Amino acid sequence: MEDKDLLADISSIKNIMERSTRFISLSGLSGVMAGIYALVGAGLAYKQIYMNDGAGVYSDHDQNLPRKLFFIASAVLVLSIATGIWLTFRKAAKNGQRVWSQSSKSLMISGALPLLTGGCFVLILFSQGSYGIIAAGCLIFYGLALVAASQYTYGDVKWLGICEIGLGLLSTLLPSFGIYFWATGFGLLHILYGTIMHFKYDRESSTN
């Protein structure tokens, strides 16, 4: 009995320390939803890039194509952020945790620099018409932001970031396949990551 009580005390102390140093209200479902939004966006972008005649012909005649793709990417970003915030608040409320804490502040600060730098880099590429490596830039800087922020949340986030960086580097070598890498990184990887997070942490916290 004493051993069981000791193990319970150690587990309780560990949970308290984890809650104080790490932001653990991230929702796995938000990753799944972000991945779904990204795949839908990639599908819409593909239809805009290639003429829908069954031959897969590149539609370089559309001068408004960059603006349309920028709008699709922006819509995916806004939907993903909004869904992530909503599900995070819902999970935090269910577990009796505060969303705005020292750990969440540290997470945001750590990830902000590479994310903002990447956003500026992508906008510069867009303004200069260097569309071929925009997908690579998005993946690489997003991955760097995840790795930087992972020290203040679940360690799984770091591995997602590393995978995103790897895909971004491959996309740099194969710029003509940028949309496929973008769909894989922001779509499929997010769905896989979100599913793992949900069954590993969300369901566990709901049963505690």
Is 15 part of a structural domain of the chain? no
Residue 57: the pLDDT is 46
Residue tagged 């990417």 (tokens): 73
Taking residue 93's Cβ as centre, other Cβ atoms within 10 Å add up to 12
Is 10 part of a structural domain of the chain? no
Residues 122, 135: Cα–Cα separation, whole Å? 9
Q: For residue 171, how far is the Cα from the chain centroid? A: 17
CA-based max dimension of the chain: 76
Can you give the pTM of this predicted structure? 0.79
Higher-confidence residue: 9 or 180? Answer: 180
Q: What is the pLDDT of residues 26-35, one digit of tens each?
A: 778 888 999 9
Domain count, the chain: 1
- As a whole number, the mean pLDDT across the chain is 80
**pLDDT at residue 21 tops 70:** no
Residues 182, 179: Cα–Cα separation, whole Å? 5
Q: What is the pLDDT of residues 113-171, one digit of tens each?
A: 999 999 999 999 988 888 889 999 999 999 999 999 888 877 888 999 999 999 999 99
Domain that holds residue 119: 26-207
Mean pLDDT check: name the lowest of 50-59, 62-71, 176-185.
50-59
| Residue 76 contacts residue 38 (beta carbons within 8 Å) | yes
3-state secondary structure of 58: strand
